[in-house]
């Protein structure tokens, strides 16, 4: 049984909850990613901010990304997967919450991000289409 830890992208970088959306956007550009985990002052995961969040929840509503804090977009309890959870559990979680990326947690520590692409690369080739369909609907 493959686990999230075995196929995740490690070394996930956070944006601090008190950093601005402009800083988040610059970090996304530098890292060539479309989302970042939001971490609190206690280094615990507070949420996830996406490039789409910045556009839809800030810019489109007249907000200023130089003053809006990343933590303001982290809504509710973040959807995560345990580092030792199976790929099947990850797929189920992605499908249930209609997300394509899951922060991977070991205890309270963020250890990586598991993306739909990570799963697809490690899933039986004849079932990848089914995987994408499950998560996308």
Q: What is the mean pLDDT of residues 16-24?
A: 96
Tell me what pLDDT residue 126 has: 65
Task: Identify the pLDDT of residue 132.
Answer: 61
pLDDT at residue 114 tops 80: yes
Q: Burial of 90 by CB count in 10 Å (0-12 exposed, 13-18 middle, 19+ buried)?
A: buried
The structural domains of the chain, ordered by start, are 4-136 (3.10.580.10)
Q: What CA–CA distances, in Å, run from 90 to 20, 65, 83?
A: 30, 32, 10
How many other C-beta atoms are found inside a 10 Å radius of the C-beta of residue 98? 10
Q: What percent of the chain has pLDDT over 70?
A: 89
When pLDDT is cut at 50, 70 and 90, the band that residue 41 belongs to is confident
Nearest to 8 by CA among 128, 136, 121, 137: 121
């Amino acid at each position: 049984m493959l686990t999230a830890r075995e196929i995740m992208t490690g070394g996930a970088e956070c944006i601090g909850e008190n950093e601005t959306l402009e800083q988040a956007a610059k970090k996304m550009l530098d890292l060539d990613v479309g989302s970042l985990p939001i971490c609190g002052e206690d280094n615990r995961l507070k949420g996830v901010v996406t490039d789409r969040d910045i556009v839809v929840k800030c810019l489109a509503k007249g907000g200023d990304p130089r003053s809006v804090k990343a933590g303001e977009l982290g809504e509710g309890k973040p959807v995560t997967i345990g580092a030792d959870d199976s790929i099947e559990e990850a797929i189920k979680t992605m499908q249930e919450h209609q997300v394509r990326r899951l922060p991977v947690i070991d205890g309270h520590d963020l250890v990586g991000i598991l993306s739909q692409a990570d799963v697809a690369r490690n899933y039986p080739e004849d079932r990848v289409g089914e995987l994408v369909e499950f998560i996308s609907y």
